A and B are shown apart, each in its own frame.
Chain A
Amino acid sequence: MRLLTSITLLLALLLGAAGASAQEIGFSAQVDRNAIATGEYVKYTVNLTNSRERIESPSLGGLMVVQGPFDNSSFTIINGRMSGSTSRTWVLTATAPGKYTIGPARVRVGGGVIETEPITIEVTKGASQHSDPNATQGQSRDPNLFTTITLSKSKAYVGEQIVATYMLYSRYNSLETTKSDMPKLDGFWAENVELGETSWDPQLSTVNGLQYRTAVLKKQVLFPQKPGKQRIAPFTMECVVNRSFFNRGSAVEIRSNAAEVTVMALPPNAPPSFKGAVGELEMVVKADRTEVKANEAIELTVTYAGKGNLKLMDAPAFDFPGDFETYDPKVTDKISVSGSGMSGSRSYQYLVIPRHEGEFRLAPVEFSYFDTRSGSYRTVSGPALTVQVSPGDGGSAMIQRPNKSDVQVLGKDIRYIRTGDLGLHAADGHLFGSLPWLAGMGAPALGFILFLGWRRKREAQLRDVAGSRRKQADRVARKRLNEAGQALNNSDRAAFYDALGKALHGYIGDKFGLGPAEITAPRLREHFARYTGGEQVATEYIRMIEACDMARYAPVEDRPRQQLYDEAAALIGRTEQLVRS
């Protein structure tokens, strides 16, 4: 019984104490720290004790509310004394360094107003900012709603793929976009990434301590087409925020940052087979078979695979033998455009039909691309394929005749140089008109003239011989006639006829320039015919020679020797007269 009495007493005491202290109202504000870095949080708590009035929120002086305000009330009775306290807590942060002052929080108690002391927070620049600088920049434009363009690379080669992401950051609960203008892309070849319906990312993201709902508006794979600084213009969006059943909301126009990328030109030492492929690529060349019969088809597949602009790839430069029938390749694309860029494969499928048997070598296909990993050109060579074509199935009933076809002109080139002896001659000398040529032309003429001169001289000489003979003819004949006269006196018959014959022959030979064998009747008549009355003398002379020769070689004398001698002397004299006249 005594125990019960004492507990009641204790309770009464406790309640009494509580009732006594309920009259003192405390109101204070505090922060967990006074200096933060951007992106860090500060907890700001306002405490109100022994009052249950509503606390008016202070002006936060530019600080952002990350969380809160959270209200917390407690009511305790200690030793019968009741105490109540209410606290309101904000988690705040700042995006920019500086001094921020949280204004006084107020509470109305009874007729008066109690204020807390203002608190100054020093915000320094954060050591490292992990978040996107574009987002930070966007946040500084409007911390509640902004958009960004983010490129995956700030430096790229021409043709190297860049992923551009268009993001929306929002801290509003409700947001409707009414209009969006996506930027025009100059100097890029763009491929959109299929994203489906635009939706909020389930994960909140934090930018400088502020949490945002984010949505990817658009993703593009860009292939820069020309070197230099390329700029992507900002895009604009019109949104209506905070629209609710009770509120028409407010329209906001937002503008993203402009993105810039430095596009580097490809190095100049491009291999000849380079046709503009850039990326991380490989090539596979496959033939479904290499041993066929004529007129059977071979399927050749060239597959380019990897990351890069596969859609801009060219067909491989296959160099098929001339009498292979080829068709345009079938192109199969397995290309996916995703957030990591364009990747996949592109295949060129060639249908080739060899028309004639034989062994054909297909030159390896060369493929060059610019490797963005190593920043250099790389050339991949396919295998050298050898196609063995055996004679086709002709069938025994069919006579196979090769199809006649024109010789195909496969290439055009200049004809080959001349080899061997080039027939060189001095460059500056022309034979025509030169001194040797003139000499060559003149020499035969000169020779001819000399020849003519020599000939004339010789003829003159010959003529001179005949002339002297003619001149001497009379004298020589007289000398021979004298010899004959002596022989006549000596009665030497042989000597007489010999001398007389010589005188007649010699005279006429000398006179007409004739040799001993040329003294014939026709020749004498010919020569005598030149003179008037020559015929008669000729006849007499011929008769005289005949008579003389007859007597000389035969013992016949038709007249006395003295008469013959006189007649001969007279005849020579008459001839002399005739020829002289």
Chain B
Amino acid sequence: MRTFALSLLLLATVPGMAMTRVEADSLAAQGSRAYAAGDHAAALALFDSAATAFTSPALLYNIGNCHFKLNDIPHAILYFERALRLAPGDADVQTNLELARQNVVDRVNELPGFSLGSTWSRIRGGRDADQWARRSLWACLAFFVALAAAVAMRQRTARRSLFALSGLLFIGTALSIAFAAFRHKEVTDQSEAIIMSAKVDVRSEPRDGSTVLFVLHKGTKVTILQQDNAWSEVQLANGSVGWMPPASLERI
């Protein structure tokens, strides 16, 4: 079983060999079984190999769980954040992320933000990143079909109601495109990162020896403002800004 999983894993990691959806599903299923058996390290390896070519909020969530069980809190947070970005408002992910964050040393007081609650995030986020894009396609198709029907119709009342319907569908299309664009930007946004080093000195300038502004610890989330010479200028949730040495971050 283990050797089989390993060989699958090796197959999956050979570059140039495309993994099929079925293979990835099988890897993920094996990972679930390993997790159930308590072998979190093996489960992580299997999920990771499935994640080389495929992704989904559930897969990222499972990987985060494995990291949590292996006591790698920064990576657990990283993957929970990734899962949450694909599926905003997912209750399981939020719960586990909150639990993982309890193990983070730094407590950053977040600036009061604008939030409309989880229902809004579910609507906004959809089931996955592409859902709004798919919706926009359907809405676009429906709009043109309704418009064509309205044009073709001779009877005046039918024609009018079809025009009204196509108007609504046009609004729907525009909205879903806007949502899809927003989600696309959100999902492809690489500006947020999680600190992986146990302790990082955040400095005033991107070089060693400059003034240490504050010290951060693993698991804390930061926003990368810009990069210079592999140093990253980061901003904390409370607004503090400083430079961080290379290789202490992993982008969400």
| Interface residue ranges, A against B (CB under 8 Å) | 412-419, 421-427, 430-433, 437, 440-441, 443-445, 447-448, 451-452, 455
- Give the docked Cα–Cα distance between A447 and B140 (Å): 12
Using known A-B contacts A415-B95, A437-B133, determine if residue A422 contacts B68 with beta carbons closer than 8 Å.
Answer: no
Per DSSP, are chain A's interface residues mostly helix, strand or loop, or mixed?
Answer: loop
Q: Is the CB of B151 within 8 A of A440?
A: no
Cβ contact within 8 Å between B28 and A422? yes
Which residue of A412, A426, A447 has the most chain B CB atoms within 10 A of its CB atom?
A426
Question: Restricting to B148-176, which residues have a CB under 8 Å from any CB of A?
Answer: 148, 151-152
Would you call B199 an interface residue if the criterion is a C-beta within 8 Å of the partner chain's C-beta atoms?
A: no
Residues in B with CB closer than 8 Å to A447 are 144, 148
> Which of B54, B100, B145 is in CB contact (< 8 Å) with A444?
B145
Q: Which residues of A sit under 8 angstroms from B143, Cβ to Cβ? A: 444
27 examples of A-B residue contacts, CB within 8 angstroms: A414-B69, A414-B95, A414-B96, A415-B96, A422-B58, A422-B59, A423-B57, A423-B128, A424-B28, A424-B54, A424-B56, A425-B130, A426-B54, A427-B51, A427-B52, A430-B129, A433-B181, A437-B133, A437-B136, A437-B137, A440-B137, A441-B140, A443-B141, A444-B141, A444-B144, A445-B144, A447-B144
* Cβ-defined contact, A417 with B65, below 8 A: yes
Check B35 for interface membership: any CB of A closer than 8 A: yes
CA distance A419 to B133 in the complex (A): 26
Q: CA separation between A538 and B72, bound complex, in Å?
A: 95
Judge if B220 is at the interface, Cβ distance under 8 Å.
no
Quick check: is B53 within 8 A (CB to CB) of the other chain? yes
Interface residue SS majority, chain B: helix
Known contacts A414-B95, A445-B144; A432/B61 CB under 8 A? no
Chain B residues near A427 (CB-CB < 8 A): 51-55
Q: For the complex, what is the distance from the CA of A538 to the CA of B75, rounded to whole Å?
A: 89
User: Bound complex: CA of A440 vs CA of B32, how far in Å?
Assistant: 36
Residues of A with C-beta under 8 A to B208: none
Q: Is B107 an interface residue (CB 8 A)?
A: no
A433 to B129, CA, bound (A): 12
How far is B127's CA from A136's CA once the two chains are assembled, in angstroms? Answer: 86
CB pair B68 A414 closer than 8 Å: yes
Task: Please indicate the chain A residues that have their CB under 8 angstroms from the CB of B99 in the complex.
Answer: 412-414
Residue B7 CB within 8 A of the other chain: no
Q: Which of A415, A417, A424, A451 has the most CB of B within 10 A?
A: A417
Q: Given A418-B61, A419-B32, A431-B130, does the pair A425, B137 have CB atoms closer than 8 Å?
A: no
The answer to whether B188 and A430 have CB atoms under 8 Å apart is yes
**Measured between C-beta atoms, what is the minimum distance from B15 to chain A in Å?**
14
Which residues does chain A contribute within 8 Å of B140, judged by CB atoms?
A: 440-441, 444-445
A499 to B148, CA, bound (A): 45
Q: With A415-B96, A417-B65, A431-B134 known to touch, is A425 a contact of B56 (CB < 8 Å)? A: yes
Contact between A430 and B187, CB atoms less than 8 A apart:
yes
Q: Which of B54, B177, B181 has the most CB of A within 10 A?
A: B54
Q: With a CB–CB cut-off of 8 A, which chain A residues contact B95? A: 414-415
**Min distance, Cβ A409 to any Cβ of chain B, angstroms:** 13
Residue in B closest to A423 when the chains form the complex, CB atoms:
B56
Q: In the complex, how many angstroms separate the beta carbon of A278 from the nearest chain B beta carbon?
A: 28
Are the CB atoms of A418 and B58 closer together than 8 Å? Answer: yes
CB-based closest 10 A-B pairs: A444-B144, A431-B133, A418-B58, A432-B133, A431-B130, A424-B54, A432-B184, A427-B55, A422-B58, A440-B137
Pair B137/A441 contact, Cβ less than 8 Å:
yes
In the complex, the answer to whether A424 meets B59 with C-beta atoms within 8 Å is yes
Verify if B189 is at the interface (C-beta below 8 Å from A). Answer: no
The reply to whether A417 and B62 contact each other, CB–CB distance below 8 Å, is yes
Contact across chains for A417 and B61 when beta carbons are under 8 A apart: yes
Closest to A419 in B: B32
Enumerate chain B residues within 8 angstroms of A445, measured Cβ to Cβ.
140, 144
On chain B, the residues within 8 Å of A444 by CB distance are: 140-141, 143-145
B124 at the interface (CB under 8 A from A): no
Find out whether the CB atom of B148 lies under 8 angstroms from the CB atom of A448: yes
Give the distance in Å from the alpha carbon of A565 to the alpha carbon of B99 in the complex: 103
Give the chain A neighbours of B177 by CB distance below 8 A: 441
